């Protein structure tokens, strides 16, 4: 969701474009120039060290030159870099804390994080892969052109591909929480950026599943074969995902950059999904024959209408929270529901007004609970590069002595 900008000529002001957000993409972090040569010189073969440096520098240059928009090229370089990087955290190699790795925010390029820990580098790389994947899903949901009427047209294939990408991004983030953060000592974890907190990473993983379900609900609304029960189930699942995401953030410090914007996004989507769940639950209840069924249905419709109004305000707050983003035109299920919910709530409350007057305490019924359908894709790290086969290592004589000399020279110049 990073802002894109361009410079027309030297000395002219940048033309800033306010990005559009369909899929929420938190702050993207990219690697900054770091010195790998000095701390690792003489401890690993020169060819291995040169490859590590070269690949990391390539990622830095591509990310900076393209604002991380060259997703395919970056993903390929990150995966190749990962296979080389995997040797550094291995305890038997004794290299885990030698290099100070530096990363910065793509949006401003100023807030730099420096951590001398190879697990931090691994975490940052996998996190960047997740953010690029979310960004790719967002791009798929924003078509380059519109129909003559100005209505958004997103193909079914694009929507399904976006769901696949969301599951993939969710898998990356789940891996970060379960397989990377657990290896980092508390003092290192306390120095991580706020958006690398366990709860924040877990929340983004879960809400990616929620947004995948949101797309599925939109596809169900467009399908003549999808039953009312299917739509209600998807809406209720969507609500559960965003409820869980909010719970993950409840114990996190969100008073930082993207933190407040992230919270508004969760609130916006939570309110939308709850409105959808009440609407479809109301339609099913209204099919009953008892007067109580119609009363409960009207309560659902009125609750959905109120929640929809609240979601509009939350959406505005999300868009205005820094960094500012544009709200996408209504699409999918919400395009349908923004029209249907007020219409049905008005019609049904008039139809069953006499029943409502007889009830002393009107209250929306509890929503049904469903087992969640979507799960994060399993992510596994690539195989460690064969260059880490120590039996084949040939390190120059006296290289350790040179390494210590370089280290001492480095201390003197600092």
First-to-last C-alpha distance (Å) of the chain: 37
Q: In DSSP terms, which residues pair with 4 in a beta bridge?
A: 17
Q: Are 197 and 123 in contact (CB under 8 A)?
A: no
CA–CA gap between residue 398 and residue 213 (Å, rounded):
59
- Span 286-336, pLDDT tens digits: 998 888 888 899 999 999 999 999 999 999 999 999 888 887 788 889 999
Closest CA to 23 of 162, 158, 220: 162
The fold of the 197-361 domain, in CATH, is 1.25.40
Q: What integer is the mean pLDDT of 136-142?
A: 93
Does position 375 have pLDDT exceeding 80, yes or no? yes
Query: In the block, which residue shows the tokens 């100023």?
Result: 110
Give the pLDDT of residue 291: 82
Q: What integer is the mean pLDDT of 16-34?
A: 87
Q: How far is CA 409 from the centre of its chain?
A: 43
Confidence of residue 398 (pLDDT cuts 50, 70, 90): very low
The residues spanned by each domain of the chain are 197-361
- Span 50-74, pLDDT tens digits: 999 999 999 999 999 998 899 999 9
- Span 89-98, pLDDT tens digits: 999 999 999 9
Phi, psi torsion values for 200, nearest 5 degrees: -70, -45
CA–CA gap between residue 23 and residue 271 (Å, rounded):
16
Closest CA to 200 of 133, 246, 237: 246
Whether the upstream peptide bond of residue 245 has omega within 30° of 0, thus cis, is no
| Region of residue 378 (left: phi > 0; alpha: psi -120 to 50; beta: else) | beta
Helices (H), 99-227: 118-140, 156-175, 186-189, 198-222
Of the two residues 390 and 287, the one the predictor is more confident about is 287
- Its pTM stands at 0.88
CA–CA gap between residue 275 and residue 235 (Å, rounded):
9
- Span 325-350, pLDDT tens digits: 887 788 889 999 999 999 999 999 88
Q: What integer is the mean pLDDT of 276-295?
A: 92
Count of alpha carbons within 13 angstroms of residue 53, beta-carbon side:
16
Our CA angle for 21, 197, 53, nearest 5°, is: 85
């Amino acid at each position: 969701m990073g802002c894109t900008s361009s410079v027309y000529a030297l000395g002219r002001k940048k033309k800033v474009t306010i990005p559009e957000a369909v899929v929420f993409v938190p702050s993207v972090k990219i690697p900054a120039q770091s010195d790998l040569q000095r701390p690792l010189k003489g401890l690993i073969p020169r060819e291995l060290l040169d490859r590590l440096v070269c690949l990391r520098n390539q990622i830095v240059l591509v990310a900076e030159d393209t604002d991380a928009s060259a997703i395919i090229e970056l993903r390929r370089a990150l995966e190749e870099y990962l296979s080389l990087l995997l040797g550094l955290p291995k305890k038997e190699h004794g290299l885990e804390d030698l290099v100070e790795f530096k990363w910065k925010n793509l949006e401003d390029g100023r807030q730099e994080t420096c951590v001398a820990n190879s697990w931090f580098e691994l975490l940052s790389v996998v996190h960047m892969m997740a953010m690029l994947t979310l960004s790719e899903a967002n791009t798929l949901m924003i078509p380059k052109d519109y129909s003559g009427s100005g209505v958004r047209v997103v193909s079914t294939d694009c929507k399904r591909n976006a769901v696949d990408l969301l599951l993939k991004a969710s898998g990356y983030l789940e891996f970060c929480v379960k397989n990377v953060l657990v290896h980092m000592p508390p003092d290192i974890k306390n120095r991580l950026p706020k958006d690398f907190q366990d709860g924040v990473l877990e929340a983004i993983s879960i809400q990616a599943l929620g947004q995948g379900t949101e797309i599925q609900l939109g596809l169900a609304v467009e399908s003549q074969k999808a039953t009312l029960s299917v739509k209600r189930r998807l809406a209720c699942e969507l609500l559960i995902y965003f409820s869980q995401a909010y719970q993950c953030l409840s114990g996190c410090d969100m008073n930082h950059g993207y933190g407040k914007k992230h919270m508004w996004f969760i609130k916006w989507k939570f309110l939308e999904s709850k409105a959808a769940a009440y609407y479809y639950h109301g339609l099913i209840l209204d099919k009953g024959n008892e007067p109580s069924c119609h009363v409960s249905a009207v309560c659902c419709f009125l609750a959905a209408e109120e929640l929809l109004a609240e979601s509009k305000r939350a959406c505005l707050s999300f868009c205005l929270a820094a960094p500012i983003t544009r709200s996408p035109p209504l699409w999918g299920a919400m395009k349908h529901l923004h029209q249907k919910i007020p219409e049905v709530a008005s019609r049904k409350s008039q139809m069953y007004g006499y029943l409502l007057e007889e009830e002393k305490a009107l209250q929306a019924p509890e929503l049904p609970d469903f087992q969640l359908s979507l799960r994060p894709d399993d992510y596994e790290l690539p195989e460690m590069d064969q260059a880490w086969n120590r039996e084949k290592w040939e390190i120059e004589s006296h290289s350790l002595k040179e390494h210590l000399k370089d280290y001492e020279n480095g201390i003197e110049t600092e």
